[in-house]
Amino acid sequence: MAYLASDRARQRRADPRKILPECRSILVLCAPYDAPLNLDVLEPDPPFQSLHGKVAAYAWGEDYHEILAERLRVLSAYIEAKTGAPVLNRWYTDTGPVLERDLAQRAGLGWIGKNTCLIHPTKGSYFFLAEILLSLNLEPDRPFLDDRCGSCTRCLEACPTACILPDRTIDARRCISYLTIELKGAIPVELRPQIGAWVFGCDICQQVCPWNQRFAAAHGDPAFGPRLEVPRPDLIAELALSPEQFNRKFKGSPVKRAKRRGYLRNVAVALGNLGDETALPVLIQALGNEPEPLVRSHVAWALGRLGGEAAQRALQQAAQIEKDADVLSEIMSALDIARTAAGPPGD
């Protein structure tokens, strides 16, 4: 992601004193969220059993940025009150130029696994990280030096897009979390089938991790408990969300980060992957009436995946009136896919 690559951002990540010149210690904290232990996040490839999407567990509840920021503020005030003197501080939770996982490993909270997640030896990896930079000398904890992944490669083998590399890095361009959240444009066509039913984020590399299977708790901090209908959204209903309905449903939710056009783009891809013809009416409706070109283009792809006469008619009609060049290109490609799937006339 380009915003991480600037010289200023690199310098600030390399030396916290570029952020807080008076920094003497960094307090690293973690807050657990619900682990998807009872959700079948590894459903088989299409056809699936229902038209429900999947949302990464960290986004099931309230936005952790808001909740943890207030807690960090309160904790900073507590530290200052206990010392009886002013303590300069800065706090972050996935919001600033700090190497959170590296700091957490150095603070003794675990090791960085092959999937690049920080893994705690008795809690797994389903937790948020946060940091407070302090102008206060504290005795440091011992760093966690063990690598307990061993020869296990379950996360590499389970990743649908093969984005986890053998050198413990992630090719973000292929990561489902990146594709469904950070990527603002079209999802590469060759990766869409591998996204499955994920509409926001992905939990697969954590779900298959033996440390989570053994130690992760089903329920984390209640503040991050699931909202109704967020963990497994009804895709038919989601594709019909108006801007007002989307904003109302996801107010205060991490899902809002994808914005409506990104989220509905993901919903369209999921419906195409599910392969259920009951999605045809809502997809056809969206192709004709959805104002966002990004959504229409992925709806066209989904219709091509579903195929059949109704889908072909809708795509042909849309091709006659579509003004956006990118959408029109997707429509023509989808028509080719649908025709190929149908086979020669008379088959």
- pLDDT for residue 48: 45
Q: What is the model's pLDDT at position 42?
A: 45
**Is residue 28 within a helix (H) or strand (E), and if so which, with residue range?**
strand 25-32
pLDDT digits (tens, 9 = 90+) for 9-50: 777 778 899 999 999 999 999 999 999 975 454 444 444 456
At 41 the pLDDT is 44
In this prediction, residue 292 carries a pLDDT of 98
Query: 234-347 belongs to which CATH class?
Result: mainly alpha
Pairwise CA distance, residues 196 & 271, whole Å = 9
pLDDT at 224: 95
Burial (CB count within 10 angstroms: exposed 0-12, middle 13-18, buried 19+), residue 346: exposed
What pLDDT score does 7 carry? 75
The domain spans of the chain are 1-139+149-227, 234-347
For 155-209, the DSSP string reads HHHH-TT--B-TTS-B-TTT-HHIIIII--SPPPGGGHHHHTTEEE---HHHHT-
- What local confidence, expressed as pLDDT, does residue 8 receive? 75
Residue 337, token pair as written in the block: 């896919």
Instruction: Yes or no: say if 187 and 161 are a contact pair by the CB < 8 Å rule.
Output: no
What single string gives the DSSP state of each residue in 117-151?
-EEBTTTBT-EEEEEEEESS--PPPPP------TT
> Which of 176, 175, 172, 183 is closest to 261 using CA atoms?
183
Confirm whether 94 is a catalytic residue. yes
Alpha helices in the chain (DSSP H): 7-14, 64-83, 100-106, 154-158, 176-177, 192-195, 204-207, 210-215, 235-239, 243-249, 259-274, 280-289, 293-306, 309-321, 325-342
Give yes or no for a contact between 38 and 218, defined as CB atoms under 8 angstroms apart.
yes
Q: ∠ CA 282-201-245 to the nearest 5 degrees?
A: 45
H or E segment to which residue 91 belongs: strand 89-92
pLDDT digit string (tens) for 132-189? 999 999 999 999 999 999 999 999 999 999 999 999 999 999 999 999 999 999 999 9
CA dihedral sign of residues 83, 86, 88, 94: positive
| Regions of the chain where pLDDT drops below 50 | 39, 41-48, 347
* CB within 8 Å of 26: residues ≥ 6 apart: 16, 98, 103, 107, 131, 132, 133, 134
Cβ density class 20-53: b for 16+ within 10 Å, e for less: beebebbbbbbbbbbbbbebebebeeeebeebbb
pLDDT at residue number 94 = 87
- Which residue is catalytic, options 40, 94, 141, 234? 94
Tell me the C-alpha to C-alpha distance, in Å, between residue 190 and each of 230, 277, 306.
27, 22, 16
Residues 74-97, buried b or exposed e (16+ Cβ, 10 A)? ebbeebbeeeeeebebbbbbeebb
Res 250: pLDDT: 97
C-beta separation of 210 from 121 below 8 A: no
